[in-house]
Structure formats: C-alpha cells, structure tokens
Structure 1
Amino acid sequence: MNDDERIIKDIGLFAKNIKEIESIKLLGKEENVVEMAKNYAEDTNYYLEKEDKMTAFGCITYAHGLLDAVRLIHGLI
C-alpha cells in the first residue's frame, strides 16, 4: 500500500467513525474536540492536494486521536 492509499484508507475510517459519534450526546468540551477532529480531517485533503503527504498523514492521524478520545469516553472502543 502506497502513502496515498494509506491516507485515503484512513480518511474512510475517519468518516465511518465520525458517523458513530453522531448518535451520541456529546458532553462539555467534547463537541469542540469533535469539531477539531473534523477540521484536521479536512486539512488532510488540503495537504493531499498540495502533495504534502507527511503533513496529510499527520493531520488524519491527529484527527483519529481526537475522535478516539471521545469514542473511548463513551465506550465505543
């Protein structure tokens, strides 16, 4: 799997996981964390277009980390 394929796969996984979050009530600052995760996921596409794969991968990885924190709090992982 090349870098582009890996990043695209991670974007798909993020989309799947963000849908899971839509069904729960977010508490306190969790909404902010989810919004930050979405912003990082969007940044991933920007950096892919610029062919900056290292930054794109960093963005999607960070987006997953933020989202996973919220998913963990709510017992989804």
Structure 2
Amino acid sequence: MYGDVERIKKDIELFAKNIKELESIEIHGNQERIVEMAESYCQDTSYYLEKKDQMTAFGCITYAHGLLDAVRILHDLI
C-alpha cells in the first residue's frame, strides 16, 4: 500500500486542496506552526519520492495530513 507512487501523488494533491481551505480563515499562534510543519512534511514527501523511498514518502504525507486535519478540526472545516 505505502509503495504506491500514484497513491502518494494523489495524497499530495489532496493536501494542496485541503491547505487551500485555510486561506479563508484566520490562523493564530501554534496553529501557524502546525501548518508550517504540515507543509514541510508535504515537501519532504516529494523529496523522498524523488529518492524512490516510497515508504518514507508515504509516512511524510500521512503525517502532513494529520497535522493539517488537526487545524481544520479546530476551525470546523471537517
């Protein structure tokens, strides 16, 4: 499952869609740091895909989604 490059790429696209939702809300303090961390993990995903390390890439994008979802939940976006 985690080795599926196409699945990981779809998760990157979903992350981009979900983070765009945050443009319509005001984020404060630690929430900003959480979003920055999520963005960093998403960037790491692409890095590890380039290195053909799908397992680490999958872990990074999964973690990025989790962090982003935490902020989205706080703002009733999901």
Coarse TM-score class (shorter-chain normalised): over 0.9
TM-align CA RMSD: 1.3
Q: Which runs of 5+ in 2 are unaligned?
A: none
The Cα of 1:22 is off from its aligned counterpart by 1.5
The Cα of 1:23 is off from its aligned counterpart by 1.4
1:30 aligns with 2:41: no
How do residues 36-75 of structure 1 correspond to structure 2 at under 5 angstroms? 36-75=37-76
Quick one: percent identity of the two aligned structures? Answer: 71
Question: Could you tell me the TM-score, scaled by structure 1's length?
Answer: 0.96
**Number of aligned residue pairs:** 77
The Cα of 1:28 is off from its aligned counterpart by 2.1
2:20 aligns with 19
Question: Could you tell me the TM-score, scaled by structure 2's length?
Answer: 0.95
Q: Which runs of 5+ in 1 are unaligned?
A: none
2:5 aligns with 4
**Cα distance in 1 between the residues matched to 2:32 and 2:24:** 13
